Amino acid sequence: MIQYQSFWFPGYRLFKNTLKSQKHFKAKDTDLIIASHPKTGTTWLNALLFAIVNRDNGNHPMNESPILSQHPHHLVNRLEDVNFGGGFFNQLSSSQLDDLPSPRLFSTHIPYVTLSESIKTCDGCRILYICRNPFDTFVSQWHFYNKVVIDLDGEQTLKPYTFEQFFEDWFEGRILFGPFFEHVIDYWMQSLANPKKVLFLKYEDLKENPTIHLKRIADFVEMPFSLEEESRGVIREIIDMCSINNMKKLDVNKNGLNYSGVEKKAYFRKGEVGGWINYFTPPMIERMDRLMQQKLQGTGLTF
């Protein structure tokens, strides 16, 4: 990992490309950027946003949706994977960016401070940030890194993470795109300062009341659901299509690799709230609670 602007970025190649995206990406007024810390529901929000934006006022039959035939990571390009000249993961080169249909959808784990200035200053371009409670995020990351990141590491410099080791690194903020709380708080502050520019979503809220939050998302991107769409059940159809149970069953999400070379199925594990309780010891809970209180104090953000 490489530390830059107080955050930890993965590996040399991805870091180089992140710098290129910071320097060269030119946002458009219609762009929609999904930002997140890893394992907080990025893939789910990719699918939901794609479905909302491409619903054609509900006229597009759901059973023909590209979500059923393409992994969400292939429908929403990851900003730091666009090939800005270094021969990187994504087949999408920077010269093809202009040809993407509007609104262009991107996702990113890049912290706010490292985003391209053009995203921050472009009037119409909007950011949708998703976060998740730190306990479940931690458990999801631990599973993912042990299963996937270590497999990907060709030079075998990475070793399996014990839960305790990962906990210590997490505490120090020495995790991919960490520290966690600083990542979240920076976007949270931006959403308070400029709510038209940054929408702040929580995984747990989406789980608890998806209808309300789908409407919030649709309003935010200025594609509100009409009463007629609501009465036809379009919102429910999107929720059901993008549910983890449905996504997990789709052949396209069960087989093969995404652009980053990760097994597509690794992005769909349990998708539950509160599973962390089976992993944390009481002293760990106490330490995490204390860290959370200390970091969130005065921000108005709670989990």
Residues labelled catalytic: 109
Q: How far is the CB of 263 from ligand A3P (least distance, A)?
A: 12
Q: How far is the CB of 107 from ligand A3P (least distance, A)?
A: 9
Q: Would you call 122 helix, strand, or coil by DSSP?
A: coil
Pair of tokens at residue 172: 């120090």
Q: Would you call 1 helix, strand, or coil by DSSP?
A: coil
Q: By C-beta, is 136 or 237 nearer to ligand A3P?
A: 136
Q: By C-beta, is 40 or 90 nearer to ligand A3P?
A: 40
Q: Would you tell me which residues interact with ligand A3P (CB under 6 A)?
A: 36, 38-44, 136, 140, 143, 242-244, 247, 267-271
Contact 204, 35 (CB under 8 A): no
Residue-by-residue DSSP string for 230-293: HHHTHHHHHHHHTSHHHHHHSHHHHSSB-TTS-BGGGG-S---SSGGGGT--HHHHHHHHHHHH
Q: How far is the CB of 280 from ligand A3P (least distance, A)?
A: 14
Q: By C-beta, is 131 or 198 nearer to ligand A3P?
A: 131
Q: How far is the CB of 36 from ligand A3P (least distance, A)?
A: 6
Q: By C-beta, is 38 or 111 nearer to ligand A3P?
A: 38
Q: How far is 280 from 210, CA to CA, in rounded Å?
A: 28
> Which H/E stretch holds residue 111?
none
Q: How far is 23 from 241, CA to CA, in rounded Å?
A: 37
Q: By C-beta, is 17 or 107 nearer to ligand A3P?
A: 107
Q: How far is the CB of 98 from ligand A3P (least distance, A)?
A: 27
Q: How far is the CB of 31 from ligand A3P (least distance, A)?
A: 20
Contact 7, 80 (CB under 8 A): no
Per-residue H/E/C for 143-205: HHHHHHHHHHCCCCCCCCCCHHHHHHHHHHCCCCCCCHHHHHHHHHHHHHHCCCCEEEEEHHH
Q: How far is 56 from 61, CA to CA, in rounded Å?
A: 9
Q: By C-beta, is 94 or 260 nearer to ligand A3P?
A: 260
Bridge partner list, 101: none
